[in-house]
């Protein structure tokens, strides 16, 4: 099992207080994760304040750092740790220049970069970004065209695409990534996301689901990949969980439920997840209880606890949780 950490590039107000981490603290946190042996660090993508965050923090403005630039800075300050996006909002990105950014970051980091993409959690951000230009557009359609275009640009010596939303001709995009095929992970936990991952992804990076639902979708992904003629075992199953440790399960649950992450979960209730399962389905508990949960995740075919979120009231508290998880969970699993 691999473990990685989601940095607070786009989580002020969403999960953390305003303000939270400075750029210097983001870089130092990545260095901490590298020293502790985590697989990778990931950046989240938001561009403007969500409606519910405005209500929670009237008169305050969260600092959202662009994840690719943040990860480039981290690449220069580290030597081993992987870098990823969880998730980059593909419908709000122009594919040609995005491909150039991706490939440049891959090369500049020595092949350490993984791209995770999704449609975005909040449509209000999409409409704020696009205004009248995107009125009536379905983000899933933009996502599908963006994925098709990216695959061509990342893999073909010369690429052309002519879609409803994306169009380019005879683009020669070089150098290509060090890793082939390029590690493109598809985010989202609905059935459409499972289908996209089965069709095009080198990995599937969903948010948490009740564990029975997650197990069902892992099986669905593998079946659909096989039906599409792909090697299902080559698609990494990499869900994103939240982590809260304490000495007892009861103390951990109390700590988790008091965190800012719970308001974020409630704001996404429209996705249909059963919020009564959020403690049971995330890595919340004592170290021993979390180790037991990870064992069950491994049995259902999960290979990577990806871009783990550590809700906290300060950077120091987040760092303490990251270190505790490394020393009392990951280290014991590796023995």
Q: What was the pLDDT predicted at 271? A: 74
Q: What was the pLDDT predicted at 60? A: 97
Q: What was the pLDDT predicted at 272? A: 73
| Average pLDDT of the segment spanning 27-50 | 98
* CB distance 248 to 284 below 8 Å: no
Q: CA 202, CA 216: separation in Å to the nearest integer?
A: 19
Q: What was the pLDDT predicted at 145? A: 98
Residue 56 burial (10 A CB sphere; 0-12, 13-18, 19+): middle
Q: What was the pLDDT predicted at 219? A: 97
Q: What was the pLDDT predicted at 197? A: 98
CA angle 70, 71, 72 (to 5 degrees): 90
Identify the band that residue 309 occupies on the pLDDT scale cut at 50, 70 and 90: very high
104-152 pLDDT per residue, tens: 999 999 999 999 999 999 999 999 999 999 998 999 999 999 999 999 9
The CATH number covering residue 254 comes to: 3.20.20.30
Q: Which residues pair with residue 43 across a beta bridge?
A: 85
Identify the band that residue 229 occupies on the pLDDT scale cut at 50, 70 and 90: very high
Q: What was the pLDDT predicted at 18? A: 98
CB-CB neighbours of 298 under 10 Å: 13
Is it the case that residue 163 has pLDDT exceeding 80? Answer: yes
Is it the case that residue 246 has pLDDT exceeding 80? Answer: yes
For 294, the domain range is 2-333
Q: What was the pLDDT predicted at 267? A: 87
Lowest mean pLDDT among 131-140, 197-206, 234-243: 131-140
Q: What was the pLDDT predicted at 15? A: 94
Q: What was the pLDDT predicted at 244? A: 98
| Average pLDDT of the segment spanning 184-203 | 97
Whole-prediction pTM value?
A: 0.96
Q: CA 214, CA 1: separation in Å to the nearest integer?
A: 17
Q: What was the pLDDT predicted at 191? A: 95
State how far Cα 192 lies from the chain centre: 17
Is it the case that residue 328 has pLDDT exceeding 90? Answer: yes
Q: CA 215, CA 243: separation in Å to the nearest integer?
A: 20
Q: For a pLDDT cut of 90, what percent of the chain falls above it? A: 94
Q: Are strands 2-6 and 304-308 parallel, antiparallel or unpaired?
A: parallel
Q: For a pLDDT cut of 70, what percent of the chain falls above it? A: 100
CB-CB neighbours of 328 under 10 Å: 15
50-94 pLDDT per residue, tens: 999 999 999 999 999 999 999 999 999 999 999 999 999 999 999
Q: What was the pLDDT predicted at 5? A: 98
Q: CA 47, CA 67: separation in Å to the nearest integer?
A: 10
Instruction: Name the CA dihedral angle for 1, 227, 117, 184, rounded to a multiple of 10 degrees.
Output: 70
Q: What was the pLDDT predicted at 95? A: 98
Phi, psi of 314 (to 5 degrees): -155, 160
Q: CA 286, CA 274: separation in Å to the nearest integer?
A: 23
CA neighbours closer than 13 Å in the CB half-sphere of residue 38: 28
Closest CA to 243 of 296, 287, 276, 209: 287
Length of the chain measured in residues: 335
Q: Residue 62, SS3?
A: coil
Q: Are strands 203-205 and 236-237 parallel, antiparallel or unpaired?
A: parallel
* CB distance 287 to 321 below 8 Å: no
Please state whether the peptide bond connecting residue 175 to the residue before it is cis, i.e. omega within 30 degrees of 0: yes
What's the number of domains the chain is made of? 1
Identify the band that residue 274 occupies on the pLDDT scale cut at 50, 70 and 90: confident
* Signed CA dihedral, 98, 100, 101, 107: sign only: positive
Q: CA 204, CA 238: separation in Å to the nearest integer?
A: 6
| Average pLDDT of the segment spanning 266-276 | 80
Q: Give the DSSP H/E element, type plus range, for residue 187.
A: strand 184-187
């Amino acid at each position: 099992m691999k473990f990685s950490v989601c940095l607070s590039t786009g989580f002020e107000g969403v999960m953390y207080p305003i303000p939270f981490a400075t750029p210097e603290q983001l870089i130092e946190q990545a260095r901490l994760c590298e020293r502790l042996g985590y697989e990778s660090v990931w950046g989240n993508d938001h561009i403007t304040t969500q409606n519910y965050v405005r209500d929670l923090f009237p008169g305050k403005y969260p600092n959202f750092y662009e994840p690719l630039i943040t990860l480039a800075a981290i690449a220069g300050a580290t030597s081993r740790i992987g870098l990823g996006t969880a998730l980059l909002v593909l419908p709000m990105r122009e594919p040609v220049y995005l491909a150039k950014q991706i490939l440049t970051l891959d090369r500049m980091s020595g092949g350490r970069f993984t791209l995770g993409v999704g449609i975005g959690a909040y449509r209000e951000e999409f409409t704020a970004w696009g205004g009248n230009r995107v009125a009536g557009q379905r983000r899933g359609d933009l996502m599908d065209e963006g994925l098709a275009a990216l695959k061509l640009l990342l893999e073909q010596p010369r690429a052309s695409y002519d879609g409803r939303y994306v169009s380019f001709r005879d683009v020669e995009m070089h150098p290509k990534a060090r890793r082939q095929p390029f590690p493109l992970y598809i985010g989202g936990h609905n059935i459409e996301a499972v289908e996209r991952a089965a069709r095009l992804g080198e990995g599937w990076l969903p948010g948490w689901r009740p564990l029975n639902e997650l197990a069902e979708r892992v099986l669905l992904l593998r079946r659909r990949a096989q039906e599409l003629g792909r090697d299902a075992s080559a698609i990494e199953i990499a869900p994103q969980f939240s982590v809260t440790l304490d000495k007892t399960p009861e103390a951990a649950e109390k700590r988790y439920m008091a965190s800012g992450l719970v308001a974020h979960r409630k704001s996404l209730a429209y996705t249909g997840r059963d919020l009564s399962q959020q403690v049971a389905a995330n890595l919340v508990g004592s170290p021993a209880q979390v180790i037991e949960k990870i064992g069950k995740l491994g049995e259902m075919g999960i290979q990577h606890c990806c871009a783990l979120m550590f809700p906290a009231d300060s950077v120091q508290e987040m760092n303490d949780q990251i270190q505790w998880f490394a020393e009392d969970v990951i280290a014991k699993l590796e023995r």
